[in-house]
Amino acid sequence: MKALLVLLSALLILTSGCSRQDAADELIRSSLPQPTRSSISEPALANAPQFINIQISDLNEHGSLPDFDQLAEENGLRLMLKGIYAINKDVVFVRGEFATARSVLLRSEDGGQHWQEVMMPLYGSSVLGVTFKDNEGWALVAWTQEAISDLHVYYSPDYGRTWEKVSKILNDRGRPYGMKFFDGQNGQIKIIYAIANPYRDRLAILATNDGGVTWQETNSTPIYKEWDGESNPRIAIDLTDRTVIQAQFARLAGWEAERGDSCFSICETVGQDGSRWQLLHGNGYDNEIVIRRSIQGESVWTTVSTIPSRYYYLNGKITRE
Domains and CATH numbers, the chain: 47-319 (2.120.10)
CA–CA–CA angle 54, 92, 156 (5° rounding): 60
78 C-beta neighbours (distance < 10 Å), count? 16
* Tens of each residue's pLDDT in the chain, 321 residues: 434 443 334 333 333 333 333 433 343 334 334 443 334 444 455 568 999 998 888 887 766 556 778 888 888 899 999 889 999 999 999 999 998 789 999 999 999 999 999 999 998 899 989 999 999 999 999 887 666 788 999 999 999 999 999 999 988 777 787 789 999 999 999 887 766 666 666 778 899 999 999 999 887 766 665 555 555 555 556 656 555 554 443 333 333 333 334 454 568 889 999 999 999 875 444 578 899 999 877 778 999 999 999 999 998 899 886
CA–CA–CA angle 272, 273, 279 (5° rounding): 75
Q: Are 289 and 105 in contact (CB under 8 A)?
A: no
